[in-house]
Amino acid sequence: MFQKTVLDNGVRILTEQRSGTRAVSLGIWVENGSRHEEPRQGGLSHFLEHLLFKGTKTRSAQRIAEEMDAVGGVLNAFTGKENTCYYAKVVDEHLPLAVDVLSDLFLNSVFDPEEIERERTVILQEIASADENPEDFVHDLFSLDYFGDHPLGRAVCGEADTVSGFTRDDLVEFMAERYRPGRVIIAGAGNLSHAALVDAVGGAFGAIAAKPLQAPVAAPEPRSGLFHHPRKLGQVHICLGAPALPHGDPRMYVAHVLNTLLGGGMSSRLFQEIRERRGRAYSVYSFLAPYRDTGYLGVYVGTKAEWAREVMDLAVDEMAKVAAGQVTEEELGRAREQLVGNTLLGLESADSWMTHMTRSEMHRGAQISVDEITRGVRDVTLEAVAELARELFTPGALTATLLGDLEGHSVDGVGFGGTDTEAAAANP
């Protein structure tokens, strides 16, 4: 059962009471991420997330870790492009401890200068190692190529030169500026009482002074074209993408079905064509990256340099075929049920429910029930998929990022492989 309370200062408290479990997941979410940083602040949201675990007015970093370990709990956090989350997962009887620890971190962190310097070295190592996995690193490069100098294009961790220069004042001022009550959501899911959680956090969080929220950062203008990042690697890692839908767009169910058809599993078009039929890649898949006011749908392939042009053309050809309506009802039905199954199985844990209801609140301003998701997915038609594909996969709108050594191999001129949408529609 879902319940919501909004404190006078704008802090939102959400709960989803779930029977048949002893687990409780509790998160304090802030609608702030790397998107909200100026160039000189690159990585500040991520640095701040790390620092909140490094000591409060009453707890040392070691004591924080010991208290959660002592009850078998999990305490962690993550920073994204548009939000940050501090969360704990405990057995229900230890929920008061989780509330106390998370509230203490959020409200009473001291930002000790020695801890700042220690954590700075940790984050600098994290930045230095970020490009050691090229399959992950190419996604960071794609965001940079696609969004350019907009904050959405920059890495969440920031760059070494910005992180090296952050001061304690930078952290304190940024938290005061961005962590405002109207951006804070406290969410709990599992075996818990909504009234008890409101009582536990309402006093401390309700006492935070309400402050006006700054205007949102403007949407970026995406860049198209081919971007090569040379590096001596055994493979060429490729991300190929096109503009897609933002969170909250009513066609998002169609976008998810389209993504699943294209590269969402072992039966998808890309996997079957590029890996199974042609053996040109071990890893190939598609992905959606929606944001508040923009987004993209991308394809990843890791392959040999000599096959790079071929697999890019194959990927673009599959996009064109879907846009031309060359999808069967059987294929569509399989994709829809795959999504429904993934959704239902993915909401089996308290963690996933906590995340689901918070993101529903942030992206839609209302809860999206499982029944609504199921109906939305199952109502997607072949016509709707083809129409959206035609809108997204237009020649000239594609962005391609390649990481690896292409010496002696040309990939210029990748388009719709000589088969544009109209031609494919006329010759299925």
Backbone angles phi, psi at 135, to 5 degrees: -65, -35
Choosing from 16, 37, 49, 67, which is the catalytic residue?
49
* Rg for the chain, CA atoms, rounded: 23
Cα dihedral value 110, 116, 122, 126, nearest 10: 90
Q: DSSP letter string over 66-107?
A: HHHHTTT-EEEEEE-SS-EEEEEEEEGGGHHHHHHHHHHHHH
Q: Which residue's entry shows tokens 């939000």? A: 83
Active site (annotated) includes residue 318? no
Integer CA distances (angstroms), 136 to 126, 279, 416, in order: 13, 22, 26
Picking from 267, 397, 399, the residue whose alpha carbon sits closest to that of residue 334 is 267
Residue type, 149: D
Backbone angles phi, psi at 150, to 5 degrees: -70, 150
Cα dihedral across residues 100, 102, 107, 109: positive or negative: positive
Is 2:15 a contact under the CB 8 Å cutoff? Answer: yes
Report the 10 Å Cβ neighbour count for 152: 25
Picking from 281, 285, 282, 280, the residue whose alpha carbon sits closest to that of residue 270 is 285
Task: Provide the token pair at 371.
Answer: 């029944």
Distance CA 302, CA 298 (A): 14
Task: Provide the token pair at 301.
Answer: 């392939």
Q: β-strand 225-230 against 399-404: which pairing, if any?
A: parallel
CA 262 to chain CA centroid, Å, is: 20
Q: Is 226 exposed, middle or buried (0-12, 13-18, 19+ CB in 10 A)?
A: middle
DSSP state of 9: T
Q: Which residue's entry shows tokens 């503009």? A: 243
Backbone angles phi, psi at 265, to 5 degrees: 180, -175
Distance CA 50, CA 199 (A): 28
Distance CA 89, CA 155 (A): 28
Residues acting as catalytic residues? 49
